[in-house]
Amino acid sequence: MGLGAPELILILVVLLLTFPLYFLPSILGRKKHNSTSIFLLNLFLGWTAVGWIVALIWALSNDAPPVIFNNIPPPQAPREKSKADELTKLARLHSDGVLTQEEFDTEKRKLLSQ
* pLDDT for 111: 85
pLDDT over 70 (residue 1): no
Span 6-22, mean pLDDT?
93
pTM across the whole model: 0.53
Q: Look at residues 82, 37, 89 and name the one whose alpha carbon lies nearest to residue 58.
A: 37
Mean pLDDT of 13-24: 94
pLDDT, average across residues 25-37 = 95
Name the residue ranges covered by the structural domains of the chain.
Answer: 5-60, 83-113
Average pLDDT over residues 92-103: 91
Task: Kindly report the average pLDDT of the chain as a whole number.
Answer: 90
pLDDT(38) > 90: yes
Helix (H, G, I), strand (E, B) or coil at 90: helix
